[in-house]
Amino acid sequence: RLYQTLDSEGLHTLGTVIVDYRGYRVVGQSIISGILSRDQEQSIIYGSIDNGKTVNSNEKFRTVLTESSKRLHLREHSVVSGTNEEHRLITSYDCKGIVGNDGRHYLIDLFRSFAPDIFALGVPLKNFDSTPAEGEEGEAKAALFTCPVTRHKLATLRAELTEAFAFYRYILFTQNMSAKFIKAKGEREGKKEEMKEEGQLEIQSKEHKEENESDNDSGCSVESPTTPPATTTTTPFTESDAKEILKEIKSSGTAKHFGSVTNEEFDLRYNPDIYTGIGSRDTPEERTRDQQIVQDMAMFLSDTVIVKLVYDMKTMTQRPLDAIQLRDIMHDRGINMRYLGSITKALEENREKNHNYAICVSAMVTRGAKQAFKQYIIDIPGQQIAGATAHFLNCLVNGQDRQKSASGENSPPAANTGGRKKNRNKKGKVAVREPGNAWSGTNARSVHNTICEVVKGKYDFTLETSEDGFIKMPLGNLQMTRLVCKAVGIQLVLRDYMENPRFTESDVMNMFPISKHSDPRANNTTKLKDLAEDRLNNGYLAESHDLITEALNTMLQVYGPLHTDIESSHKHLAHISYLFGRIGQAISHQKQALLASERVNGIDHHETIYGYVYLALFSHNLAQTGVALRLMYRAKYLLQLVFGPDHLEQAAFDINIGLMLMGKGDSKNSLRFLESALKLHKKFHGTSSVQVAMCNTLVARALARNADFREAMKYQKHAYEVYCEKYGEEDKRTKECSTFLQTLTSKAVELQKWLQNKEKMVPNMIVSEVMPDSSISEILTTVNGIPATPTKIGAMSTDKITAVQTPAVVEEVTAKIDDIKQKGDDEALD
């Protein structure tokens, strides 16, 4: 995938797919032109085919790989074959280069294209410089997060981590260069200032001496007119001085100190063969440098990248919906899944108030169940697949042994059901035949023990079990069944599994293969799309809109309507259109993004769930409250399906639904959803958090709409206390909260007087400050992470800027126009 993204000229890779089906893994690759018409040994002209006994190198391959090696940070290194011949290779010796009959240079077996992971290989830490900026040597610091040692020697770090590490080192390098440049510039200017002062003193002493000589010659003192002191011009700091300073800094070895292979520019590279055991004639200094770079990358992963992820997950800044999104988040940050055990241990302290812990445990249980199912299903005959699969799911999720559920319809199927007559007893009932030996001995305890062993071996994490030895599932039965079925390729019949959780042979509809492959991407459109997203993040909406529209038109011609890039492009266009106030266009783009996400990602994917939320938000801004509510109900149902009711995103969804119902006038149901959101925020954030204060304010406004002012005052007073503690009494939010509290107090007093005096005049119980529709729209955009106004308008053309027109603004203007028409004031109407 990475080599395809690079798109290096003259270098080609094979189309590759990995297929997992019924316990087997099949790797499929396209065929190189002419490879079948010649011997394999004669075809390899680069790399080794016999584990390093013979190694080949080729000058043409070296030239082709030079460009990609710089972008992959690969260093050309020495490799000594078993015949004691030295070769200079850029990639690992395991990578093989072949020239096809079509003249193309193909590179295959790319599993060692990245830096080795010393934690997974069991390499001990050495005493290298832990902080290059300080340059102090010391003992090797222990890593904060590690992973178990793998049985194979192919464990490598991810490409995303390599890029992040290279960028991090480049930032340190530029900061160090800037500091040295500023220091050198100051020293040079100081020397010039000293030279200037010395020159002025010499001139003044010379003038004083000449004046004394002239006075002595005349014999009298004649007052001469004062003349300004002579000054010397200071040579300004020129470009040549800057170049000279930079040359001195470069020659001092600053770039190499941060891992660069040259002092001329920052060019960080590593040796992929440093821990493969292959012979090498590199100098000891080069070997030491290669080991240090690889160790620094592993320490950067452990002490920086994973630490940041754990912090985000502890503070709920990062809150994945399920194990699938957790995997995507970890991979995007360059973290391998084998570090999941140490990450979960860091979240274990406060697991009751952090649903991310349950998601991490569910990911490990799912992966353990996947390995157990592979071992279980691989020897099952085809005619018994459905029954064996149902039995495995019962053992996993329901904790039911075959003996406990082997009665009637829910019993495992007979070992042979093909075309033979069924044995019936005198009463006419089917006699259940004992299953075959392949899976008859499997029970719930053995399945759970296997999962515990796999998780302990792969992640060094001990799953919590009950007294009976069964795993305490982190999620509900339905949620765990979904994860396992998606992982191993089980398709179940659509029915209510909450009412009857037992699985039968008739429930297993199909088993489908799980395929992994790299999606084809057009590099030009991908660059345009990335640039458009960058401009959007910086607030340049018009420029981003033009770029992403151009990219989308090209992608539709290349990919067709169904592709992940198509989905994300429509989503960004919907976002931009919403900020421009073109709500109709935003809805149109979001619908297309949602349709593409359902087809490409799946109807229960996290991108699809968020797609429903955004479409609901846009529909609400177009006064389609009924449609928006149905979409939010759908998103809420899907979130309960993938995780359950106790997720923090459920609070955001409940706030959305509650505000929409409040705008619709259904204060009773609105209050129910807002109280549910308040309960979740109290559970995860505590009673003194800003999120709880905001929910208290919303609940108070819903109660005020029901004229329950006394109860509303309690919630609003708690919100006021939190705002005073967090922001102070002079903050705008605190003042707004205080003003609304005073309004509630006055209304409560007014209502109480009316109830006591039983006056005929009914007081005005309408609170105009409760929640106007414009405020509802602003809160909805904030809760869903969309700014209500553009962040930058400097780069936008003025003809494209329009305010976001909410339904409340339209209704207010329409009411004013009708009122003016009734009064007949033509001037005011104009």
Provide the CB-side half-sphere exposure for 288 (13 A, CA).
9
Cα–Cα distance for residue pair 488/476, rounded to 1 Å: 19
Cβ atoms < 10 Å from Cβ of 460: 17
Which H/E stretch holds residue 514?
Answer: strand 514-517
Report residue 673 as tokens: 């959803």
Contact 725, 688 (CB under 8 A): yes
Which tokens belong to 239?
Answer: 């470009």
Return the structure tokens found at 803. Answer: 């305010």
DSSP secondary structure letters along 78-137: EEE-TTS-EEEESS-TT-EEEE-TTS-EEEE--TT-S-B-HHHHTPPP----S-TTTT--
3-state secondary structure of 527: helix
- CB 611 within 8 Å of CB 621: no
pLDDT along the chain (830 residues), means of 10: 78 89 91 73 79 86 85 88 87 88 85 89 78 50 88 89 92 86 77 66 58 51 46 60 76 79 84 88 88 92 94 91 94 94 91 90 95 91 89 84 40 42 44 51 89 93 89 91 94 89 91 87 85 84 90 90 90 90 92 94 93 93 91 94 91 92 87 92 88 90 85 89 87 86 83 67 52 68 63 34 37 54 55
Question: Are 61 and 98 spatial neighbours (Cβ–Cβ below 8 Å)?
Answer: no
Q: How far apart are CA 117 and CA 294, in angstroms?
A: 8
Torsion of CA 583, 588, 592, 598, to 10 degrees: 60
538-553 burial: b if 16+ Cβ within 10 Å, else e? ebbbbbbbebbeebbe
Q: How far apart are the C-alpha atoms of 406 and 391, rounded to whole Å?
A: 10
Query: CA 723 to CA 695: how far, in whole Å?
Result: 12
Residue position matching structure tokens 């950067």: 300
* pLDDT for res 771: 56
Q: What is the 3-state secondary structure (H, E, C) of 447-478?
A: HHHHHHHHHHHHHCCCCCECCCCCECCCCCHH
Q: How many residues does this entry show for the chain?
A: 830
Residue 737 burial (CB < 10 Å; 0-12/13-18/19+)?
buried
Q: What is the pLDDT of residue 209?
A: 58
3-state secondary structure 414-445: CCCCCCCCCCECCCCCECCCCCCCCCCCCCHH
pLDDT in the model for residue 705: 83
Q: Which of 309, 322, 511, 480 is nearest to 397 (CA)?
A: 480
Q: Is 797 helix (H, G, I), strand (E, B) or coil?
A: coil
Q: Could you give the count of Cα atoms lying within 13 Å of 675 in the half-sphere of its Cβ?
A: 11
pLDDT given at position 795: 34
| Residues in CB range of 498: below 8 A, 6 or more apart | 478
**pLDDT of res. 210:** 56
The pLDDT, as a whole number, for residue 488 is 94
> What is the DSSP-derived secondary structure letter of residue 540?
B
* pLDDT at residue 821, as a whole number: 56
Residue 199: which of 250, 235, 150 has the closest Cα? Answer: 235
CA distance 713 to 742: 9
In whole angstroms, give the CA distance from residue 513 to residue 532. 36
Q: In this predicted structure, what is the pLDDT of residue 428?
A: 47
Closest CA to 255 of 243, 274, 268: 268
Q: Rg of the chain over CA atoms, in angstroms?
A: 36
